[in-house]
C-alpha cells in the first residue's frame, strides 16, 4: 500500500503530461487536487494503527544482490511528515489554482514538477533503505530546482535555482558518502537494522565522519547556517512553491533526517553539540537577518531559516535524553516534544503567512515593505489571517505558536541541568540565546503584519488598486489560520495522535521502557517560562517601536552579504579554473588530440613492456641475414625517410609507392607469395588513385613549422617507433600461450580441401571475417561514390547532381600514345587471363579471389588509361555498384547454404567430380564464396576509380 | 634478421607518426600508409621469419611459415586499401569544397 501512495503523485504527473493540450479549459490544478486529497485521507486513517504500534515493513525487491530494495515503513515520525506533505500539498494546489492564471502560465510543467516533488518527498519519509532514501532525496532537490526556475526567463530565478541545487546536492553527496560509511560498518542499508547495531559501531573510526557527513546533508537541506544562503534566493519561485517546498516540507527533510538518525547517533557528544549549536546559531542569525529585510518574502525566508534552526536546536537538545535513563531521560525529551509540536505549528502559521504574502503580491504587484501600508481597510480578511499567523509566529496566546514557544523555553531551561558535558553554568547561554532570538522573532512578526496593513496607505507607489482577494485564494490560508487557533486551544488533539508516536520513533529505547505521556496545557502557574514570555513581549514591542521610530525598516542593509560573496566568488573561480584547464588541452587542433593519443600509447604500452614481469625481448634463434634483404630494407627506409623532405606531391606519392614495393619484395623474401601479389597490385591501384586525385592540387607547400612545434612532434614520433620496435621484440620473446597456427597447417587440406593455407584461412576458417571485409569495402566505395556525387555546398540542401549531357561530358585523362594503346590491348587480355587463373588456382596455389579481382581491376585501369573511361564503359557496360551487391549476396548466400545441410553458417565442403573437358576436378563451395569476393572487389575498385575519374 | 626488421618497423612508425602529425592532408594520408606497412611487417615478424616453406601444402616441406599472420595481413591490405581510397577522396573533396588541404584550417569551434 505504501508503494502505491508514493506512486500516486508520479502517475498523476504522467497523466497531466500526457494530457498536453486536451481539456485546455479545465485548470490543471483541479485534476491534480484529487491525488493529495486521497492520500491525506488515507494517512489520516492510519493514525489509529500507528498509535497502537508498528505498521510493519513493506518490501518490493529492486537490487537484492546489493541489498537495495524498496522497503517502505510508516511509523510515527513518517506519519507526521506524510500528513504535512499531503495536507499542505492539497491546500497549496488549491491555492495555486487561483494564483496561477491558466491563460498566462505554463501549468503542465508546474504541476508535473510539483507532483514529482510530492512523490519524492513521500519516498524520503517512507523509505527504510538508505539508497532509496538518497535517490528520493536528490529527486526533491531536482524538482525544487525546476520549480524555483519556473519563471526561467528571469535571470534571478535561474540564479536562485542553480544556487539551491548546488548547495543541496553538495550536501546530498556528502550524505551519500555518510550512508556508504554506515553501510561499510554495518553491512546493511536498512535504517532499522542500523539502529539495532548502533551500540556496536559507535566506537569505530568512521562513525563520527559518517555522522558529520549525514549532518551536512541535513544542514544544507534545512538551510542551516552557513548553508542557508540558498533559501532567500529560492524565493524567486512562485509563492505556492515557496509555501510548500521552502517552508512546509522540503526544508524540513533535514529535520526529518536528524530525527530519523537520532536513534543511531544520539548519545554522542558531537551529535549534541553540532546539532544544538548549529540550530541555535541559525535561530538567532535568521531572526536578526529577518529584521533587515524589506521584501516580505525575504523576511519570511529568513524567518523560516530561523525557525528551522529552532527546531534543529530542539532536536539536538532532545538527544541529551540519551545520556540518561529513566526519569531524567524523560525530563530532557521535553525538547523533542517541543520540536515535533513546533514542526507542525510552523508549517501551519508559515504556510498561512506565505499565502497571505502571495495575496498581497497578487493584489498590489509588490512585496516591498516600503511601498506597502494601510491595507487593513481594503483587505480585512487577509489582514485577519495575517494577524493570526504572525501572532502565532511571535508566540502570543491563544495561538499554537505560544504553546510551542513555552515548550521551547522549558527545553532550554532544562538543558541547564545537563551535568555531564561541561560546567552547567555554560548552558545558561542556551536560554539567553533563545530569549534574544524570541525578541527579534516577535519584532519581525509585528513588522510584517503592521507595516503591511497599518501605517500610511500609499496608492501612488502601487501599480494597481488593491482589493480583497477572491475566495479561492483566501480559503487555504483561512483553513490554516483556523488550525492555528484550534491547535492552540486544544493542543492535545495532536499530542496523542502525532507527537507521541513521533517521539516513539525518535527515542525507541526510552519508549520501550516507559511509554511517553504528553499533555500540553496553557497555564503552569508563574513559572520562569511565563516571565520570559512577558519579557519577550515587552522588549519586542520596544524594539518594534524603536525600529519604526528610526525608520530602520526602510533602510537598505548592506551587511550580511559576505556569505553570498563567498558563494559567488567560488562559483566564478570554479568556472574560470575549469575553463582555463580545459583550454589548456582542448585546443581545437586535431594534431594535439592525436599527440595525446600517441603519448598515451607510448606511456601505457611502452611502459608496461619495459616494467611488467615476464616479458622477454627477442629469442635465441634468428633467421640468417641475406644481402637482398638488407638492400630491400635499406631502400625501403631511405624512401620512407625521404618522404617528409619531399618538395612536390608527386615525389612524396612515388616515394610512398617505393616503400610499398619494397614491402612487397620483403613479402616475397619472407615466403608470403599471396601477400606479395596482393600488395603489388594494391600499390598499382593506390598510386593511380593518388595521382588521379592530387594532380589538380597546388604544389605542396613547404610546411613552415617552428622549431618549437617540431621538437615534440619528433619526440612523439620517435617514441612511438621505439615502442613498436619493443612490441615486435617482445612478441618474438617467450609467449605464455601455444600458437594455434599448427592447427591450420594440419587441417587445411583435410577440412578445407585446399593446399594454399592462407586462402583456406580466408575463405573457410575465417570466412566470417572475409564476408564482413567485403561488406566494409562495399560501404567505403559507396561512401566515395556519394561524396563525389552529392555536391554538398555549405548552406544548400543535398541534391543529386544530374548527369552531365553526353556531348560535353568531361573526359577521363586519356592518352594518345599509340604504343601504349597497342600494348594495353594485348596486356589486358593477358592480365584478365592471369586474373582468372589466379582466382581458380587460389585454393591450392598462390592466388585467390582478392588477388584475382585486384588483378582484373588493374587490367581495367590500364585499359582506361589507354583508351579513356568512355571506351571502357561502352565495351563493358557493367554497373559496378550492382556488381558489389551481387558479390556480397553470393558470398552471403553461400554462407546461408550451409543451413540446408544443417551445419553452421559458412561451413565449406568439397568433392571431386569428373567434368567433360577438365577431367577430374575438385569443386568446393569455397570457390563459390571466393567468387562473391572476386566480384565485389572488382566492383569496389572500379567503382572508386571510375567515380573519381569521371569527376575530374 | 628479425632484429633488423624490428628496427625497420620502428623507423616506419616514426616517419608515419611524424607525417600523421602534419597539417597537410596528403602528408597525413601518406603517413597512414606507412603506418599500415609497419603494422604488416610487425605481424609478419611476430611469428618469426623464414621458419619454413611458403604455406602451400603442395611444397611438401617439413615445416611451413606461420600462415595465420599472412591471412590477417591479407585482410588488412585490402581493408586499408578501402580506407585509404576513402581518405584520398575525402581529401580531394575537402580541397574542392574548401579550397585547401590544411587540416588546421578546417578545425571546429574552440570550446
Domain membership flag for residue B93: yes
Contact A762 B74 (CB under 8 A): yes
Residues 6+ apart with CB under 8 A from A31: A12, A15, A16, A19, A111
Domain membership flag for residue B86: yes
CA–CA min distance B87, chain A (Å): 9
**Does A593 have pLDDT greater than 60?**
yes
Contact B111 A739 (CB under 8 A): no
Q: Determine the average pLDDT of the residues in A26-50.
A: 88
Q: Determine the average pLDDT of the residues in A243-270.
A: 90
Contact B54 A590 (CB under 8 A): no
* Segment A389-436, tens digit of pLDDT: 999 999 888 888 888 888 999 888 888 887 776 666 677 888 899 999
A419 SS3 class: coil
How many residues comprise chain B? 111
Contact A670 B14 (CB under 8 A): no
Residues in B closer than 8 angstroms to A775, CB to CB, are none
User: A907 falls in which pLDDT band (50, 70, 90)?
Assistant: confident
* Segment A540-549, tens digit of pLDDT: 899 888 887 7
Q: Determine the average pLDDT of the residues in A838-860.
A: 85
Of the candidates A732, A464, A503, the one whose C-alpha atom is nearest the C-alpha of residue A616 is: A732
Instruction: Flag whether residue A640 sits within 8 Å of chain B, measured between CB atoms.
Output: yes
**Does B108 have pLDDT greater than 50?**
no
pLDDT score of A117:
94
Do A121 and A136 meet the contact criterion of CB atoms below 8 Å apart?
yes
Domain membership flag for residue B105: no
Q: Which ipTM did the prediction report?
A: 0.91
pLDDT score of A225:
87
Domain membership flag for residue B57: no
Local structure of residue A497 (DSSP, 8 states):
I
Contact B85 A713 (CB under 8 A): no
- List the single range of A593-597, A625-629, A817-821, B15-19 with lowest mean pLDDT: A817-821
**Does A866 have pLDDT greater than 70?**
yes
Decide which of A337 and A588 is more confident. A337
pLDDT score of A525:
73
Do A394 and A349 meet the contact criterion of CB atoms below 8 Å apart?
no
**Does B72 have pLDDT greater than 50?**
yes
Contact A732 B6 (CB under 8 A): yes
Q: For chains A and B, what is the number of CB pairs under 8 angstroms? A: 292
pLDDT score of A791:
63
Contact B56 A756 (CB under 8 A): yes
- List the single range of A266-275, B15-24, B61-70 with lowest mean pLDDT: B61-70
A48 membership: H or E segment, kind and range: helix A47-52
pLDDT score of A48:
86
Of the candidates A384, A359, A387, A369, the one whose C-alpha atom is nearest the C-alpha of residue A458 is: A369
Contact B11 A637 (CB under 8 A): yes
Do A72 and A131 meet the contact criterion of CB atoms below 8 Å apart?
no
Contact A675 B66 (CB under 8 A): no
Average pLDDT along chain A: 85
**Does A113 have pLDDT greater than 50?**
yes
Q: Determine the average pLDDT of the residues in A684-713.
A: 73
* Segment A64-85, tens digit of pLDDT: 888 888 999 988 899 999 999 9
- List the single range of A290-294, A329-333, A350-354, B50-54 with lowest mean pLDDT: B50-54
Domain membership flag for residue B107: no
Residues in A closer than 8 angstroms to B98, CB to CB, are none
Q: How many angstroms separate the CA atoms of A784 and A778, rounded?
A: 10
CA–CA min distance B23, chain A (Å): 8
Shortest CA distance from B35: residue in chain A: A721
Decide which of A853 and A560 is more confident. A853
Residues 6+ apart with CB under 8 A from A472: A94, A95, A97, A98
Residues in A closer than 8 angstroms to B68, CB to CB, are 739-741, 744, 761
**Does A842 have pLDDT greater than 90?**
no
Q: How many angstroms separate the CA atoms of A948 and A689, rounded?
A: 8
Domain membership flag for residue B11: yes
Q: Determine the average pLDDT of the residues in A651-665.
A: 90
Q: Among partner residues B1, B68, B92, which is closest to A693 by beta-carbon distance?
A: B92
What dihedral angle (degrees, nearest 10) is formed by the CA atoms of A879, A884, A886, A892? -170
**The domain containing residue B45 runs over which residues?**
1-52+64-98
Domain membership flag for residue B91: yes
Residues in A closer than 8 angstroms to B54, CB to CB, are 671-673, 846
Which residue out of B85, B91, B99, B105 would a mutagenesis test of the A interface target, given it has the greatest number of A Cβ atoms within 10 Å? B85
Decide which of A552 and B73 is more confident. B73
Grid cell at residue A741: 597456427
pLDDT score of A480:
92
pLDDT score of A900:
75
Q: How many angstroms separate the CA atoms of A347 and A477, rounded?
A: 12
Decide which of B105 and A95 is more confident. A95
Q: Determine the average pLDDT of the residues in A633-642.
A: 92
Q: Determine the average pLDDT of the residues in A230-253.
A: 90
CA–CA min distance A124, chain B (Å): 40
Domain membership flag for residue B35: yes
User: B107 falls in which pLDDT band (50, 70, 90)?
Assistant: very low
Contact A660 B82 (CB under 8 A): no
pTM (whole model) above 0.80? no
Max distance between CA atoms of chain A, in angstroms, equals 129
User: A456 falls in which pLDDT band (50, 70, 90)?
Assistant: confident
Shortest CA distance from B91: residue in chain A: A693
Q: Percent of chain A having pLDDT more than 70?
A: 92
Q: How many angstroms separate the CA atoms of B52 and A617, rounded?
A: 22
pLDDT score of A799:
42
pLDDT score of A555:
60
Buried/exposed A82-115: b ≥16 CB within 10 Å, e otherwise:
bbbbbbbbbbbbbbbbbbbeeeebebbbbbbbbb
Contact A732 B2 (CB under 8 A): yes
Decide which of B96 and A826 is more confident. A826
The dihedral through the CA atoms of A343, A344, A346, A347 has a sign that is: positive
pLDDT score of A896:
81
A883 C-beta neighbours (distance < 10 Å), count? 19
Contact A595 B68 (CB under 8 A): no
Which residue out of B49, B89, B100, B110 would a mutagenesis test of the A interface target, given it has the greatest number of A Cβ atoms within 10 Å? B89
Q: How many angstroms separate the CA atoms of A685 and A677, rounded?
A: 13
Which residue out of B9, B10, B65, B97 would a mutagenesis test of the A interface target, given it has the greatest number of A Cβ atoms within 10 Å? B10
pLDDT score of B110:
38
pLDDT score of A802:
42
How many residues comprise chain A? 952
CA–CA min distance A605, chain B (Å): 14
Decide which of A185 and A921 is more confident. A185
B61 SS3 class: coil
Which residue out of B92, B102, B106 would a mutagenesis test of the A interface target, given it has the greatest number of A Cβ atoms within 10 Å? B92
The dihedral through the CA atoms of A484, A486, A491, A493 has a sign that is: negative
**Angle in degrees, 0-180, between the axes of helices A269-291 and A429-453, rounded to the nearest 10:** 30
Decide which of A351 and A765 is more confident. A351
pLDDT score of A914:
67
Grid cell at residue A170: 553538495
**Does A623 have pLDDT greater than 60?**
yes
pLDDT score of A760:
84
Q: How many angstroms separate the CA atoms of A220 and A205, rounded?
A: 24
The region, left, alpha or beta by phi > 0 then psi within -120 to 50, assigned to residue A906 is left
CA–CA min distance A704, chain B (Å): 10
DSSP string, B69-85: HHHHHHHHHHHHHHHHH
- Scanning chain B, the segments in alpha helix (DSSP H) are 2-20, 25-46, 67-98
* Segment A796-815, tens digit of pLDDT: 444 444 444 444 444 445 55
Contact B37 A643 (CB under 8 A): no
CA–CA min distance B111, chain A (Å): 7
Q: How far apart are the first and last CA of chain B?
A: 49
pLDDT score of A583:
85
Do A278 and A309 meet the contact criterion of CB atoms below 8 Å apart?
yes
pLDDT score of A112:
92
A548 SS3 class: helix
Shortest CA distance from A940: residue in chain B: B82
Structural domain total, chain B: 1
Grid-cell match 535561474, residue found: A158
Q: Percent of chain A having pLDDT more than 90?
A: 30
Decide which of B88 and A909 is more confident. B88
Amino acid at each position: 500500500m505504501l508503494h502505491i501512495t508514493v506512486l500516486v503523485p508520479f502517475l498523476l504527473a504522467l497523466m497531466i503530461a500526457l494530457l498536453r493540450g486536451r481539456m485546455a479549459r479545465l485548470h490543471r490544478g483541479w485534476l491534480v487536487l484529487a491525488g493529495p486529497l486521497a492520500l491525506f485521507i488515507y494517512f489520516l486513517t492510519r493514525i489509529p494503527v500507528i498509535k497502537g504500534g508498528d505498521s510493519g515493513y513493506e518490501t518490493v525487491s529492486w537490487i537484492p544482490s546489493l541489498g537495495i530494495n524498496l522497503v517502505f515503513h510508516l511509523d510515527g515520525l513518517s506519519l507526521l511528515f506524510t500528513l504535512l506533505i499531503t495536507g499542505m500539498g492539497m491546500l497549496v494546489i488549491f491555492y495555486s489554482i487561483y494564483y496561477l492564471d491558466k491563460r498566462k502560465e505554463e501549468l503542465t510543467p508546474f504541476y508535473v514538477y510539483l507532483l514529482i516533488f510530492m512523490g519524492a518527498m513521500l519516498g524520503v519519509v517512507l523509505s527504510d533503505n538508505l539508497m532509496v532514501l538518497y535517490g528520493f532525496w536528490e529527486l526533491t532537490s531536482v524538482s525544487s530546482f525546476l520549480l524555483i526556475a519556473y519563471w526561467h526567463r528571469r535571470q534571478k530565478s535561474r540564479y536562485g535555482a542553480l544556487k539551491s541545487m548546488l548547495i543541496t546536492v553538495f550536501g546530498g553527496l556528502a550524505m551519500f558518502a555518510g550512508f556508504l560509511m554506515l553501510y561499510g560498518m554495518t553491512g546493511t542499508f536498512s535504517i532499522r537494522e542500523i539502529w539495532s547495531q548502533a551500540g556496536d559501531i559507535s566506537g569505530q573510526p568512521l562513525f563520527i565522519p559518517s555522522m558529520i557527513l549525514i549532518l551536512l546533508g541535513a544542514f544544507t537541506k534545512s538551510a542551516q547556517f552557513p548553508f542557508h544562503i540558498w533559501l532567500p534566493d529560492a524565493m524567486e519561485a512562485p509563492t505556492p512553491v515557496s509555501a510548500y517546498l521552502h517552508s512546509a516540507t522540503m526544508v524540513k527533510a533535514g529535520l526529518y533526517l536528524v530525527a530519523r538518525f537520532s536513534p543511531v547517533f544520539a548519545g554522542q557528544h558531537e551529535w549534541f553539540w553540532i546539532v544544538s549549536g548549529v540550530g541555535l546559531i541559525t535561530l538567532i542569525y535568521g531572526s536578526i537577518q529577518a529584521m533587515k529585510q524589506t521584501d516580505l518574502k525575504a523576511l519570511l525566508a529568513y524567518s523560516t531559516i530561523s525557525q528551522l534552526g529552532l527546531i534543529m536546536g530542539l532536536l539536538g537538545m532532545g538527544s541529551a535524553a540519551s545520556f540518561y535513563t529513566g526519569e531524567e531521560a524523560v525530563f530532557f525529551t521535553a525538547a523533542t516534544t517541543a520540536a515535533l509540536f513546533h514542526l507542525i505549528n510552523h508549517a501551519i502559521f508559515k504556510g498561512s503567512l506565505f499565502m497571505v504574502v502571495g495575496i498581497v503580491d497578487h493584489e498590489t504587484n509588490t512585496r516591498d515593505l516600503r511601498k506597502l501600508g494601510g491595507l487593513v481597510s481594503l483587505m480585512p480578511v487577509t489582514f485577519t489571517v495575517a494577524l493570526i499567523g504572525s501572532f502565532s509566529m511571535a508566540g502570543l496566546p491563544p495561538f499554537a505558536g505560544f504553546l510551542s514557544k513555552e515548550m521551547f523555553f522549558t527545553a532550554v531551561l532544562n538543558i541547564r541541568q545537563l551535568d555531564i558535558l561541561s560546567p552547567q553554568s555554560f548552558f545558561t547561554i542556551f536560554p539567553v540565546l533563545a530569549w534574544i532570538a524570541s525578541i527579534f522573532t516577535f519584532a519581525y512578526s509585528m513588522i510584517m503584519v503592521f507595516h503591511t496593513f497599518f501605517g500610511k496607505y500609499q496608492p501612488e507607489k502601487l501599480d494597481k488598486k488593491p482589493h480583497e482577494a477572491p475566495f479561492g485564494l483566501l480559503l487555504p490560508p483561512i483553513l490554516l489560520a483556523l488550525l492555528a487557533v484550534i491547535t492552540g486551544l486544544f493542543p492535545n488533539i495532536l499530542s496523542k495522535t502525532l507527537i507521541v508516536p513521533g517521539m516513539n520513533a525518535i527515542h525507541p529505547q526510552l519508549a520501550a521502557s516507559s511509554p511517553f505521556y504528553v499533555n500540553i496545557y496553557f497555564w503552569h502557574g508563574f513559572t520562569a517560562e511565563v516571565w520570559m514570555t512577558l519579557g519577550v513581549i515587552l522588549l519586542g514591542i520596544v524594539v518594534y517601536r524603536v525600529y519604526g521610530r528610526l525608520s530602520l525598516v526602510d533602510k537598505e542593509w548592506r551587511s550580511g552579504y559576505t556569505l553570498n560573496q563567498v558563494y559567488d566568488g567560488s562559483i566564478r573561480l570554479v568556472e574560470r579554473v575549469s575553463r582555463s584547464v580545459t583550454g589548456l588541452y582542448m585546443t581545437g587542433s586535431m594534431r594535439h588530440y592525436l599527440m595525446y593519443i600517441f603519448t598515451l600509447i607510448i606511456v601505457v604500452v611502452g611502459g608496461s613492456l619495459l616494467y611488467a614481469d615476464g616479458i622477454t625481448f627477442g629469442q635465441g634463434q634468428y633467421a640468417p641475414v641475406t644481402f637482398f634483404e638488407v638492400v630491400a630494407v635499406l631502400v625501403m627506409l631511405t624512401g620512407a625517410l625521404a618522404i617528409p623532405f619531399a618538395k612536390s606531391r608527386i615525389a612524396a606519392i612515388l616515394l610512398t609507392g617505393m616503400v610499398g614495393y619494397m614491402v612487397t619484395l620483403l613479402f616475397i623474401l619472407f615466403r608470403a607469395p599471396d601477400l606479395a601479389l596482393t600488395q603489388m597490385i594494391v600499390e598499382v591501384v593506390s598510386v593511380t588513385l593518388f595521382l588521379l586525385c592530387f594532380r589538380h592540387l597546388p604544389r605542396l607547400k613547404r610546411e613552415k613549422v617552428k622549431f618549437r612545434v617540431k621538437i615534440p612532434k619528433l619526440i612523439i614520433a620517435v617514441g612511438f617507433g621505439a615502442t613498436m620496435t619493443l612490441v615486435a621484440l617482445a612478441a618474438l620473446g617467450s609467449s605464455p600461450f601455444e600458437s594455434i597456427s599448427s592447427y591450420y597447417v594440419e587441417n587445411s587440406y583435410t577440412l578445407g580441401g585446399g593446399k594454399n593455407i592462407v586462402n583456406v584461412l580466408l575463405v573457410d576458417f575465417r570466412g566470417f571475417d572475409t564476408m564482413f571485409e567485403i561488406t566494409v569495402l562495399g560501404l567505403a566505395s559507396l561512401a566515395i561514390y556519394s561524396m563525389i556525387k552529392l555536391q554538398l555546398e555549405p548552406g544548400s540542401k543535398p541534391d543529386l547532381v544530374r548527369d552531365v549531357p553526353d556531348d560535353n561530358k568531361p573526359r577521363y585523362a586519356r592518352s594518345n600514345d599509340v604504343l601504349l594503346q597497342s600494348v594495353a590491348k594485348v596486356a589486358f587480355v593477358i592480365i584478365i587471363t592471369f586474373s582468372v587463373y589466379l582466382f581458380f588456382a587460389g585454393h591450392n596455389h598462390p592466388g585467390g579471389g582478392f588477388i584475382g579481382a585486384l588483378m582484373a581491376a588493374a587490367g581495367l585501369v590500364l585499359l582506361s588509361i589507354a583508351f579513356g573511361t568512355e571506351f571502357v564503359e561502352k565495351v563493358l557496360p557493367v554497373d559496378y555498384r550492382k556488381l558489389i551487391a551481387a558479390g556480397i549476396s553470393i558470398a552471403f548466400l553461400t554462407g546461408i547454404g550451409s543451413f540446408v545441410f544443417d551445419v553452421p553458417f559458412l561451413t565449406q565442403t568439397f568433392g571431386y567430380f569428373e567434368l567433360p573437358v577438365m577431367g577430374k576436378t575438385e569443386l568446393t563451395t569455397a570457390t563459390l564464396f571466393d567468387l562473391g569476393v572476386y566480384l565485389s572487389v572488382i566492383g569496389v575498385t572500379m567503382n572508386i576509380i571510375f567515380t573519381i575519374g569521371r569527376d575530374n | 634478421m628479425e632484429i633488423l626488421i624490428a628496427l625497420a618497423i620502428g623507423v616506419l612508425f616514426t616517419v608515419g607518426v611524424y607525417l600523421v602529425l602534419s597539417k597537410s592532408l596528403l602528408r597525413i594520408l601518406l603517413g597512414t600508409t606507412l603506418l599500415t606497412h609497419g603494422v604488416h611487417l610487425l605481424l609478419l615478424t611476430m611469428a618469426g621469419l623464414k621458419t619454413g616453406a611458403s604455406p602451400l601444402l603442395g611444397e611438401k616441406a617439413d615445416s611451413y611459415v606461420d600462415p595465420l599472420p599472412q591471412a590477417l595481413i591479407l585482410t588488412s591490405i585490402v581493408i586499408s586499401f578501402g580506407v585509404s581510397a576513402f581518405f584520398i577522396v575525402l581529401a580531394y573533396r575537402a580541397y574542392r569544397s574548401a579550397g585547401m588541404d590544411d587540416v588546421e584550417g578546417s578545425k571546429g569551434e574552440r570550446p
